[in-house]
Amino acid sequence: AVVFWGCWMSFFNLGAWGVLYTYTPQLYPVRFRAFGSGWAGAVGRIGGIVAPMAVAAMMGGENGFGRIFVMFTAVLVAVAAVIVLLGEETKGRSLEDISG
């Protein structure tokens, strides 16, 4: 069950990265786009450092794997909620119009 659900989580997580790296740079002003994308990537790298430590700490407890999946699901749902609530539709708009 852990391998099955881990594969599904990885599939959707990797798909989300493709969307993330095409959508978010459009939202930064053109003159700050590289800086904004780099800053967002750096924050993601910090998460990449902290997450394995959190997973290791959670594995030792009772129902460790279940809690790990709940943690990742909660983070992804929170990100989706932020995008739904605060996201901006960019389809058919010029980059200057979006970031202006």
Q: How confident is the model at residue 46 (pLDDT cuts 50, 70, 90)?
A: very high
Q: What is the pLDDT of residues 49-73, one digit of tens each?
A: 998 898 888 887 788 788 888 888 8
For the chain, the maximum distance between any two Cα atoms, rounded to a whole number of angstroms, is 52
* 3-class state of residue 47 by DSSP: helix
Give the DSSP H or E segment for 46: helix 33-59
74: which 2 tokens? Answer: 């909660």
Threshold 0.75, pTM exceeds: no
Q: What is the pLDDT of residues 11-31, one digit of tens each?
A: 887 887 787 788 888 888 888
What is the pLDDT at residue 66?
84
